[in-house]
Structure 1
Amino acid sequence: MNEPNRQSFWDNLTNTKLIRYVLLFALAWAVVQVLAYFETVIIIFVFAAIFAFLLNFPVRWASRIMPRGVATVLVFLLSLLLIGGIVVTLGIAAFSQAQQLVEQAPQLLNSVTELLGNLQSLLQRWNLNVDFSELEGQLRNGALSTLGLGFTTVQNVLANALDLIVIAVVAFFMLLDGKRLWDLILRIFPRGMRDRITIAVRKNFLGFFWGRFLLSVFFGISVYIVFILLGVPYALGLAAIAGVFDLIPGIGATLGITLISLIILPQGIGLALTVLVSCILLQQVEENILMPRIMQGSINMNPVVMFFALLVGARVAGLVGVFLSIPIAGVLISLFEVEEMQGKQD
Structure 2
Amino acid sequence: MTQPATPAPRRSADSVSWGVRVAAAWSWRFVVVVGALVVLGTVLARLSEVVIPVAVSLLLAALLTPAVGWLQARGVPRGIATALVLVGGIALLGAVLTFVVQAFINGVPDLVDEVSASVDSVQQWLVNGPLNLKQSQIDGAFTSFTTSLTTNRDAITSGALSTAATLTQILSGLAIALFTTIFFVYDGARVWEFVTRVVPRHVRPRVDVAGHRGFASLVGYVRATVAVAAVDAIGIGVGLAVLRVPLALPLAALVFLGAFIPIIGAFLSGLVAVLIALVTQGFVVALIVLGVIVAVQQLEAHVLQPVLLGRAVQLHPLAVVLAIAVGLVVAGVIGALLAVPMVAIANAAVRSLLADEAPPDPAQVDATDPDDALPDPEHPQDD
Normalising to structure 1: TM-score of the pair? 0.76
Residue in structure 2 matched with residue 130 of structure 1 by the alignment? none
1:58 lines up with 2:67 in the alignment: yes
CA displacement at 1:152 relative to structure 2: 8.8
SS of 1:275's equivalent?
helix
Q: 1:287 to 1:14 in 2, by over 3 A?
A: closer
**In the alignment, which residue of structure 2 is the partner of 1:161?**
171
Distance in 1 of aligned mates of 2:168 and 2:98: 14
In structure 1, distance between residues paired with 2:256 and 2:193: 36
Higher relative contact order structure (alpha carbons within 8 Å, sequence separation ≥ 6): 2
Which 5+ residue runs of structure 2 have no aligned equivalent?
A: 1-16, 133-137, 150-155, 353-383
Q: Residues 91-142 of structure 1, C-alpha deviation per residue, up to 9 Å, x if partnerless?
A: 32134435754676454455556667888559xxxxxxxxxx9xx99xx99x
Length, aligned pairs only: 312
Q: What displacement does 1:39 show? A: 1.0
Q: In the alignment, is the contact (CA less than 8 A) between 2:327 and 2:338 conserved in 1?
A: yes
Letter paired with 1:241: L
**In structure 2, C-alpha distance between the alignment counterparts of 1:152 and 1:276, rounded to whole Å:** 35
Q: Structure 2 counterpart of 1:311, which letter?
A: A
Distance (Å, rounded) in 2 between the aligned partners of 1:30 and 1:337: 25
Q: Do the aligned partners of residues 336 and 81 (structure 1) sit closer, same or farther apart at CA in structure 2, a change above 3 Å counting?
A: closer
Per-residue deviation, residues 144-179 of structure 1 (Å, max 9, x unmatched): 9xxx99999799558733432332222112222222
**Bigger radius of gyration among the two:** 2
Q: How does 1:38-77 map to 2 (within 5 A)?
A: 38-65=47-74, 66-77=76-87
Q: Which amino acid aligns with 1:265?
A: L
Larger deviation, residues 251-260 vs 89-98? 89-98
What displacement does 1:265 show? 1.0
Matched, 1:255 2:265: no
My pick for the range that moved more, 111-120 or 36-45, is 111-120
1:235 to 248, 251, 256: 248
Stretches of structure 1 lacking an aligned partner (at least 5 in a row): 1-6, 123-132, 339-346
Calculate percent identity across the aligned residue pairs.
25
Alignment match of 2:45 (pick from 33, 36, 54):
36
> What does 1:1-346 correspond to in 2, within 5 Å?
12=22, 15=25, 18-65=27-74, 66-98=76-108, 101=111, 105-109=115-119, 111=121, 160-189=170-199, 190-266=203-279, 267-337=281-351
Contact 2:274 2:287 in 1 (8 A): yes
How far residue 231 of structure 1 moved from its aligned partner, in angstroms, is 1.9
Shift in Å, 1:322? 0.9
Q: Give the Cα separation in 2 of the matches to 1:252 and 1:86.
A: 20
SS of 2:313's partner is coil
Contact 1:112 / 1:265 at 8 angstroms: preserved in 2?
no
Letter in 1 for 2:289: V
